[in-house]
Amino acid sequence: MRADRSAIYPFLPGTAPLTIVGGQGSYVHTADGRRILDGGGGAVVTNIGHGRPEPAQAAAAAMTGAAYVVPVWATEYRLRLIEHLRQGWLPQGLTRCLFVSGGSESVDTAIRVARQHHVARGDVDRWKVIGREISYHGATLATLSASNHDRRRATLEPMLTDQPKADFFDAEAVRKLVETEDPSTIAALVVEPVSGASGGALVPPDDYLPGLRSICDDHGILLICDEVMTGFGRTGARFAADHVGVVPDLLVGAKGLGGGYVPIGGVFATDAVVEPIAEAELIVMYFTFSGADVACAVSDRVLTIMEDENLIERAATMGRRLAGLLEDALGDHPNVADIRGRGLLQGVELVEDRSTGAHFGGALSPKVVAEALGRDCWIYPAGSGGVPDALLFGPPFTVSDAELESLVAICAESIDAAVADLHRP
Ligand SMILES: Cc1ncc(COP(=O)(O)O)c(C=O)c1O
């Protein structure tokens, strides 16, 4: 791409974006010859690394036949991916698969399915979706309504439904909220097992998710686990809910399902969720490009690569390594309030002063990210509400020790440079 053409991108004027022309392993390559260490895995997407030839081979094979097939029909590639997911990936009981093109579509669809499930059973008053105080579930109006990411909701509030928000850490507080809201009006509770963009890899206590499971069981509420960021190996298990032995009624995934090579998301449900909808002959409306053959074929190949190369185990091992390096470099840092996460989803919460908890109100993390980018390293900015400044680390599962070491060294330098800049008169 000619350099001057980047002036027409992006949609809104802002800082000139990098123009990426390639990538290999843990790096993306810019048009002007820089190699950027992808410490955020893009938007916490890349798992098998950049520049692999296998997805392109799978895509080419899938693109030689029918150009397009309506999502309600089966195709060889759709069936193959469903079988693969059922055999090797999905928790027991989650047998129904519906494909979409990304995370927002998957959570939005799960919310619609939850509502339709209850209506099909004659429970027409159930429409509320309980979200959580620290959360992000997508950019559609329904998913933003269930989310609490202040900057991403800003200006849209009048168009959002006022969905209740539950405590992030305390399941008993969630039970009280459910009872106050009247359980017979609640369709679903949606939860990220480990927070992503909103909280910077906050991990609730181990009894929290099982607690939510039992609240849902007691009150006929469907539990939706939003594993768009955490799913498909990112936390060192197939799904983050596996760590605490919880099986939701609806599980949604996206990012890692396609490894970044294709836009794909999935909604996975139990027979008990779907059967009433089928019996009532309701439609679950698809998106035109749901389950595109090319997306299914590439996703199938990405999952096979993760299995063949033991990449989930590697995410667990390298995640421990990254957590240790972060702790060594930043554990006592005056601007670091907390280091947390699971597997290769690690977060660093930033403050102005760790002894008082004073913070920069969201001004620090973008500055750190810009400083890191100036040092050829990409870290994903995170934070909202009570966690205004955080950094998210989500490198490819194939990342090396040396790459993690430079990621953490650059991060530490970038925090110091950004804080110095904010303190400059
Ligand atoms: C937990 C979670 N849910 C949903 C989404 C929305 O996914 P997408 O951006 O693919 O629409 C994201 C995106 O970051 C996410 O982290």
Domain 54-308 belongs to what topology? Answer: Aspartate Aminotransferase; domain 2 (3.40.640)
* Ligand 1 touching residue 291 (CB < 6 A): no
- What is the CB-side half-sphere exposure of residue 318 using CA atoms within 13 A? 26
- Scored b (16 or more CB within 10 A) or e, 40-76 reads bbbbbbbbbbbebebbeebbeebeeeeeeeebeeebe
Top-confidence residue, 280 or 2: 280
The domain locations on the chain are 3-51+310-423, 54-308
Query: Which residue puts its alpha carbon closest to atom 16 of ligand 1?
Result: 229
Q: Is the per-residue pLDDT at 296 higher than 90?
A: yes
Residue 303: which of 38, 65, 81, 52 has the closest Cα? 81
CA 263 to ligand 1: nearest atom? 10
Query: Which residue puts its alpha carbon closest to atom 8 of ligand 1?
Result: 103
CA 138 to ligand 1: nearest atom? 6
Phi, psi of 33 (to 5 degrees): 90, 10
Residue 5 pLDDT: 60
Instruction: State mean pLDDT over 31-48.
Output: 97
Say how far apart CA 73 and CA 59 lie, in whole Å.
Answer: 20
* Ligand 1 touching residue 103 (CB < 6 A): yes
What's the gap in Å between 140 CA and the centre of ligand 1?
A: 10
* Ligand 1 touching residue 101 (CB < 6 A): no
What's the gap in Å between 253 CA and the centre of ligand 1?
A: 9
Decide whether 3-51+310-423 matches 54-308 in CATH topology: no
What's the gap in Å between 136 CA and the centre of ligand 1?
A: 7
* Ligand 1 touching residue 104 (CB < 6 A): yes
Say how far apart CA 275 and CA 391 lie, in whole Å.
Answer: 42
What's the gap in Å between 4 CA and the centre of ligand 1?
A: 32
Residue 1 pLDDT: 47
User: Residues 364-395: pLDDT tens digits?
Assistant: 999 999 999 999 999 999 999 989 999 999 99
What's the gap in Å between 66 CA and the centre of ligand 1?
A: 30
Tokens of 95: 């047998």
State whether CATH 3.40.50.1000 applies to domain 3-51+310-423. no
Q: Is the per-residue pLDDT at 135 higher than 50?
A: yes
User: Residues 166-214: pLDDT tens digits?
Assistant: 999 999 999 999 999 999 999 999 999 999 999 999 999 999 999 999 9
User: Residues 199-258: pLDDT tens digits?
Assistant: 999 999 999 999 999 999 999 999 999 999 999 999 999 999 999 999 999 999 999 999
* Ligand 1 touching residue 192 (CB < 6 A): yes
CA 197 to ligand 1: nearest atom? 16
